[in-house]
Amino acid sequence: MSSKKSKATAEAVETMAATDEITQEVTEEVTEAVEEATEEAESTEAVAYIGPSIKFVATHGTVYNNGLPRDLAKKVEEIPMIKGLLIPISKLAVSYVQLATEGSALNNLYNAVAEKLK
């Protein structure tokens, strides 16, 4: 009878290990799917340009849905730091506070882009 219990115990342990492995795989798949969905949502979120106005290209405070206009995308290629001034709408309020704070990273970036555009 004890060999039957040992065999049953061994089978139960194997089943538990297999269940744990499956649970781990499912958890990883779900986590990956959530991360991908989050990245996609963030990439499709509207952005606002809070840099200095660029004549015939972009105006300070303009919101862009569905990507950037061609002229602005070209300007970002020319001056990559402009990308740092394209802020997701969900972070806009905090970014304006940082922009107004003298010496903050965003304020320094704004000033550097302004100089580059001269």
pLDDT tens-place string over residues 10-64: 777 777 777 777 767 656 665 665 556 555 545 678 999 999 999 999 999 999 9
Please check whether residue 98 is in contact with residue 106, taking contact to mean a CB–CB distance below 8 angstroms: yes
Residue 110 burial (CB < 10 Å; 0-12/13-18/19+)? buried
In this prediction, residue 2 has a pLDDT band, given cuts at 50, 70 and 90, of low
| Helical residues (DSSP H) of 1-118, grouped into ranges | 2-44, 70-78, 92-100, 105-117
